[in-house]
Structure 1
Amino acid sequence: MISVERTMLVDRPAGEVLRYLADFGNTPQWDPGTESCTRLDPGPVAQGARWRNVSRFRGRRTELFYCLEEYSPKRLVFVGRNRTVKATDDITVRASEGGTVVVYRASLRFNGLALLAAPFLRAEFERLADAVAVRLPAVLAGT
């Protein structure tokens, strides 16, 4: 398994940040690896909402189907799956004197033969997390 964690301070109220991040359809704005993310079901964003996410990683396109598995006032957990990987994005949000602290944790658990690739993908996943840590606060500052 590959896991990364980044902590960011953003100059927005915690409730606004949580609502923005709860809509996984916004990920193309703040995740440099995401090309598109389309909601698959109607209605308000709530626990159980689903998205189709298309990302580019190391030059290859991959499709994952994500579900919002936890939506609480301070935490969001999205789980995406396809044949080769289970991806989990665990995001906590808390008010701070300087705005809002966002802790972004992402993990990939590979299946089958893809398990062999995991050690070689860690550095690229770290670089992607670094890019999220730069881009997400900038995007949130503009929302």
Structure 2
Amino acid sequence: MRVERSAEEVLHYLADFANTVEWDPGTEACVRLDGGPVVRGAQWRNTSRFRGRLTELTYRLERYDPGRLVFVGRNRTVTATDDIAVRPADGGGTLVHYRASLRFHGFARLAAPFLRGEFEGLADAVAERLPRVLTGP
């Protein structure tokens, strides 16, 4: 995704996972669990709605490098990894590469192939909303 903001601004905004309520259509709430500056190890409780049900994951910022963020969210049925790369674009603005992956545990693994289409729909919605939010005022 290309956005008309500096890479530094984009990285700073995305590093605070509480901002997912603004750009992830599935997120209903996301609350920081610790205090202080957003650094590697920071944690959030993310409440999302999927298929009409609320689910909570505890996310941890596993990597915070110039140009790269990796968040890992966990609960008893799934581990979600959000890997975000941010770099200046030729001619101005910023390129954002966002990759989300899910690994189901236990019996939930059996449902994964049947849920793929719905997860892809959520990914499409994020890809539509995130650039608007990042480019907005």
Q: TM-score range by the shorter chain?
A: over 0.9
So what's the TM-score if we normalise by structure 2?
0.97
CA RMSD of aligned residues (A): 0.7
> Whose RCO is larger (CA < 8 A, sep 6+)?
1
Matching of residues 53-132 of structure 1 within 5 Å:
53-96=46-89, 97-132=91-126
**Could you tell me which of 8, 24, 33 is aligned with 1:15?**
8
Identity %: 73
The structure richer in strand per residue is 1
Residues 26-65 of structure 1: CA distance to partner in whole angstroms, max 9, x if unpaired? 0010000000000000100000000000000111110000
So what's the TM-score if we normalise by structure 1?
0.93
**Could you tell me which of 19, 23, 36 is aligned with 1:26?**
19
Which structure 1 residue ranges, 5 or more long, are not aligned? 1-7
Residues 53-111 of structure 1: CA distance to partner in whole angstroms, max 9, x if unpaired? 00001111100000000000110000000000000000000000241000000000000
Which structure 2 residue ranges, 5 or more long, are not aligned? none
Match in the other structure for 2:129: 135
Match in the other structure for 2:30: 37
